[in-house]
Structure 1
Amino acid sequence: MARVPTTLPWRLAGRIGRESAAEREPLLRWLEGLFARVFPGATGAEHAQWARAHLAMLAQEMVDAMAFQRLGCRGGPAVDLQGAEHAKSLVRQGKGFILVLNHYDRLLTAPVALARAGVATNVLTMPVLDNPELQVAQRNFLLRKIQGYTAVTGGTWHTTSDGLRPVHESLRAGQGWVILADAWRPEFGRLRDHPFLGGRLSLPTGIERLAQSTGVPLLHAVTCSRTPDNLQVRVEPLPESPRQAIDTVVQRLDQDVRSRPWAWWQWGLWDQMWQQQAPELQAEPKPGDTHDQD
């Protein structure tokens, strides 16, 4: 469908969906139940709307993955990039940097938009070829996605199973790397808890350790889909301290998820990543009580 040379694929993707009809209804009911647990103050209609919007967003991202070359270009979604000067300044100074993303909304729009602005980045991901949890079709899709992504962003792809020495050397040599802060796997050993939606979110410390050892600055980017074919990207500087920088990233994620719960990808890992606080410390998250990204 992504081969259709207009924005129609993105507008249809949410209706068609990634799932079969038999899979879709149980998944919607499961998401509604999870949203009801996490956001009990919202209505059932809101929970249902968020569930539908979540699946639509993931389907639209699959179209992105097959048409990265059209993001921000004719025949693709419009992209409003703000804050590119923060990355451009580091490039002019010859400084390497880490662009921190979260699994939020159409997340890879940010590095694609930066590439259009002249800022190339590499990407560090979880293993794909040697990941036993991936089926053949999933692996083939991800490999094609990565190929299209790196062709547009002008960088290389590296996985955590390949060792991090090349990443260290590349950062010290002045290159940029895209890394996701809220990646999670059960085998991760170095985790740190962050306040999140009235509880604690356990996230890996890899980014802050990498930044600490290489001395590179961190930037943060967030994408907000105004419509399926109209996206806003904001690139923001982060504190010099890597630990404080990641704290800031997670605080922003907390605000963004409260504002637009459907846009976070990681709900399927909620019970593994999140723990409830003691009752006297817990505060119910309230959707819509933060700034409006739009």
Structure 2
Amino acid sequence: MTRAWSLDLLFPSIARLPTTLPWRLAGRIGRESAAEREHLLGWLEGLFARVFPKATQMEHAQWARAHLAMLAQEMVDAMAFSRLGRPGGPTIELQGVEFARNLARQGKGFILVLNHYDRLLTAPVALAREGVSTNVLTMPVLDNPELGASQRRFLLRKIQGYTEVTGGKWHTTSDGLRPVHESLRAGQGWVILADAWRPEFGRLRGRPFLGGCLNLPTGIERLAQSTGVPLLHAVTYSHCPDRLKVVVEPLPADPGHAIDTVIQRLEQDVLARPWAWWQWGLWDQMWQPASEAEGKP
């Protein structure tokens, strides 16, 4: 199974199957070839053994398999956002919609902070089902040299389906942030991920995480500080491939404290469900042992 065939044909085709079968099939089929899957499972098990030495080898193996299954299920989400929370698609239990709805009714802009955790874009889709539209800020796609042609096609298709459901705009960091500032001040909501990471990112700040320090960009807190908008946090928990729960919560008024709270929650969630965090592939770039982080600004 080549990556191009998987992105261009396999997952778009699976996503058209009736009922919730696509999501149940995805975890079995996976995104990778058999050889790639074997390699990734071994690598993940080794990483989990390093980060969670008190867990058993069987747990490390279970988490590795669950991680790859979750990422494959998210690829079906990407091709079928219109089916999330609808008859015949995965069900969504939404808690805390009133926090976003009240801000929208008052005409107040807000930032909905997500992390790369579980089926992450379920949250803005669930809010859209309740009449709360949001825009999304992402990393570059068209001008990202690390993406192949099939990856670009898949992501553009994903973005189109996502914005059709959420009713908002898609904007990338390479397009400049002025439109985002103006939109927030005009009363619109924006989805931004707190644990995004790229090697060229500057203005990083370390936050306590799993016995060390997770280095993350400060863009969200600076954006909130300059626009004066409140922040909300949302997280998705998949009980099974076709049954999801979304929790939306208000955050402290101080942007720095708000993002600290988000990362504290992420740590709790990762401890409870290690497999559900997407960023394990960047662990050695994002995370530092406490001894190395000491003395750094």
Both proteins in one fold, TM over 0.5: yes
From 141, 152, 156, the equivalent of 1:128 is 141
Percent identical residues: 82
Q: Tell me the distance in 1 between the aligned counterparts of 2:35 and 2:210.
A: 32
Q: Which residue of 1 aligns with 2:36?
A: 23
Question: Given the alignment of the two structures, is residue 44 of structure 1 paired with residue 44 of structure 2, yes or no?
Answer: no
Q: Tell me the distance in 1 between the aligned counterparts of 2:288 and 2:258.
A: 22
| Corresponding residue SS for 1:278 | helix
Within 5 Å, which residues of 2 pair with 1:35-114? 35-114=48-127
Q: Tell me the distance in 2 between the aligned counterparts of 1:125 and 1:5.
A: 30
Q: Tell me the distance in 2 between the aligned counterparts of 1:176 and 1:85.
A: 14
Q: Tell me the distance in 2 between the aligned counterparts of 1:26 and 1:123.
A: 33
Question: Given the alignment of the two structures, is residue 150 of structure 1 paired with residue 187 of structure 2, yes or no?
Answer: no
Residue-by-residue CA offset, 1:103-137 (whole Å, 9 max, x unaligned): 00000000000000000000000000000000111
Corresponding letter in the other structure for 1:101? L
Corresponding letter in the other structure for 1:32? E
Cα displacement (A) at 1:262: 0.1
Structure 1: 4+ residue segments shifted above 6 A = none
Corresponding letter in the other structure for 2:278? W
Q: Tell me the distance in 2 between the aligned counterparts of 1:277 and 1:210.
A: 28
| Corresponding residue SS for 1:123 | strand
From 259, 266, 270, the equivalent of 1:257 is 270
From 13, 23, 26, the equivalent of 2:26 is 13
Cα displacement (A) at 1:278: 2.3
Q: Tell me the distance in 1 between the aligned counterparts of 2:151 and 2:50.
A: 30
Q: Tell me the distance in 2 between the aligned counterparts of 1:230 and 1:82.
A: 14
From 209, 218, 240, the equivalent of 1:196 is 209
The count of aligned residue pairs is: 280
Question: Given the alignment of the two structures, is residue 167 of structure 1 paired with residue 180 of structure 2, yes or no?
Answer: yes
Relative to the length of structure 2, the TM-score reads: 0.94
Relative to the length of structure 1, the TM-score reads: 0.94
Q: Tell me the distance in 2 between the aligned counterparts of 1:273 and 1:31.
A: 16
Cα displacement (A) at 1:75: 1.3
Structure 1 portions without partners, runs of 5+: 282-294
Q: Tell me the distance in 1 between the aligned counterparts of 2:145 and 2:139.
A: 12
Q: Tell me the distance in 2 between the aligned counterparts of 1:204 and 1:33.
A: 27
Residue-by-residue CA offset, 1:2-49 (whole Å, 9 max, x unaligned): 001210010111000000111100110000000000000000000000
Higher helix share: 2
Q: Please give the root-mean-square deviation of Cα atoms over the aligned residues, in Å.
A: 0.9
Cα displacement (A) at 1:277: 1.0
Q: Which residue of 2 aligns with 1:231?
A: 244
Cα displacement (A) at 1:258: 0.4
Q: Tell me the distance in 1 between the aligned counterparts of 2:180 and 2:290.
A: 36
Residue-by-residue CA offset, 1:126-156 (whole Å, 9 max, x unaligned): 0000000001111110000000000000000
Q: Tell me the distance in 2 between the aligned counterparts of 1:17 and 1:191.
A: 34
Corresponding letter in the other structure for 1:115? A
